[in-house]
């Protein structure tokens, strides 16, 4: 008997007690063997109530992602159809990069329950505890010039923000270029890493990190004034499979729209969701800090900043000051 047989039997009883005797008869094993498998399921995070004379009852399931739950929810044609669901890895970015180098196709997705070396922009560490977030990387092979990659960063932010709003009742704002904020605190981050050859884009690995069901104690204390999870913001535990399916759905639709119509529709959507525009802002660019009012995006995805003297500067890379 495997723990899976026992699980199927308990699940079929939908929360009712099944006696140890009945289980051992149906699965043709000893009562001790049943008990051993119960312990294994508990170790996997299942909650099983054992009451003398009544038997066993399944009262809770682990909040682990599974292909059985996720695959039927997918509504996409390509995104997520090649799916690698892993338990603990250093970073989904590295795993997907490895697959990309082996020729993995566009839409290939790597999801991890936990990352031990999750990374963010500017070489920062990304907190990725087990079972509570969405830590995943999606492979794109767009046929666009290398200098258009900032547009994909903005596209990813719009897709993620639309998907989260569909699943969770929170108001999301995009901080340039692609941080998603709820109530001014960061809920998600996007990391685009690309591989190019002679000005030609070979592939892009889009890393998406969403703090879904994290609790305050999952974060280092010093981060708490800057970050929040969807659960902390909405008061609800979120089903991660539903969220992943909706992210892929939004992402594939917007990506197809971008490939058909170019950046213009993405630009309008990004501007409509932005919390960066029309506010006095300090931007730390690689050339030094500049102060101005971001007014919108240009056709390539750069941020157009109005300076004090009324002139405009286009910024492609910067950290926004507090
Ligand atoms: C940021 O700094 O805001 C970007 C954070 C990106 C985190 C995600 S989690 C999945 C993927 N794997 C990583 O190591 N990083 C990205």
Give the pLDDT score at 237: 86
Give the pLDDT score at 182: 96
Give the pLDDT score at 44: 61
Q: What is the pLDDT of residues 85-142, one digit of tens each?
A: 999 999 999 999 999 999 999 999 999 999 999 999 888 999 998 888 999 999 999 9
Q: Is CATH 3.30.930.10 correct for 67-273?
A: yes
**Residue ranges matching CATH 1.10.10.10 in the chain:** 3-60
**Residue ranges matching CATH 2.30.30.100 in the chain:** 281-320
Weakly modelled stretches of the chain, pLDDT under 70? 1, 43-45, 62, 322
Give the pLDDT score at 61: 74
Give the pLDDT score at 74: 97
111, 174, 186, 189, best to mutate for ligand 1 pocket (most atoms within 8 Å of CB): 189
The candidate with the shortest Cα–Cα distance to 206, out of 224, 227, 191, is 191
Q: What is the pLDDT of residues 193-208, one digit of tens each?
A: 999 988 889 999 999 9
Ligand 1 centroid to 172 CA: how many Å? 18
186, 191, 214, best to mutate for ligand 1 pocket (most atoms within 8 Å of CB): 191
**Residue ranges matching CATH 3.30.930.10 in the chain:** 67-273
Show the tokens assigned to 319: 């950290």
Atom index in ligand 1 nearest the CA of residue 128 equals 9
Give the pLDDT score at 94: 98
Ligand 1 centroid to 119 CA: how many Å? 5
CATH for the stretch 281-320: 2.30.30.100
CATH topology assigned to domain 3-60: Arc Repressor Mutant, subunit A (1.10.10)
Show the tokens assigned to 65: 């992602």
């Amino acid at each position: 008997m495997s723990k899976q047989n026992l699980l199927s039997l308990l699940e079929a009883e939908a929360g009712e007690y099944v006696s140890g005797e009945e289980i051992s008869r149906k699965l043709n094993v000893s009562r001790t063997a049943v008990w051993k498998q119960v312990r294994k399921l508990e170790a996997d995070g299942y909650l099983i109530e054992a009451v003398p004379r009544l038997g066993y009852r399944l009262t809770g399931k682990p909040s682990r992602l599974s292909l059985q739950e996720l695959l039927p929810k997918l509504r996409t044609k390509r995104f997520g159809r090649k799916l690698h669901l892993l338990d603990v890895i250093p970073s989904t970015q590295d795993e997907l990069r490895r697959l990309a180098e082996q020729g993995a196709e566009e839409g290939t997705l790597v999801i991890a329950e936990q990352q031990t070396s999750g990374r963010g922009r500017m070489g920062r560490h990304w907190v990725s505890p087990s079972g509570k977030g969405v830590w995943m990387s999606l492979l794109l092979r767009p046929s666009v010039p290398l200098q258009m990659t900032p547009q994909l960063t903005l596209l990813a932010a719009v897709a993620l923000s639309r998907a989260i709003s569909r699943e969770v009742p929170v108001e999301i704002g995009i901080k340039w270029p692609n941080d998603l904020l709820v109530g001014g605190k960061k809920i998600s981050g996007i990391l685009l890493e690309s591989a190019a050859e002679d000005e030609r884009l070979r592939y892009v690995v889009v890393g998406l990190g969403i703090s879904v069901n994290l609790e305050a104690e999952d974060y280092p204390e010093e981060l708490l004034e800057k970050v929040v999870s969807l659960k902390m913001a909405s008061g609800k535990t979120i089903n991660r499979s539903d969220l992943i399916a909706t992210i892929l759905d939004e992402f594939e639709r917007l990506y197809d729209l971008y490939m058909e119509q170019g950046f213009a529709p993405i630009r309008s959507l990004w501007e409509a969701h932005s919390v960066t525009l029309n506010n006095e802002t300090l931007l730390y660019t690689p050339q030094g800090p500049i102060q101005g009012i971001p007014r919108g995006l240009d056709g390539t995805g750069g941020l157009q900043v109005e300076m004090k003297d009324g002139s405009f500067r286009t910024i492609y890379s910067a950290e926004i000051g507090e």
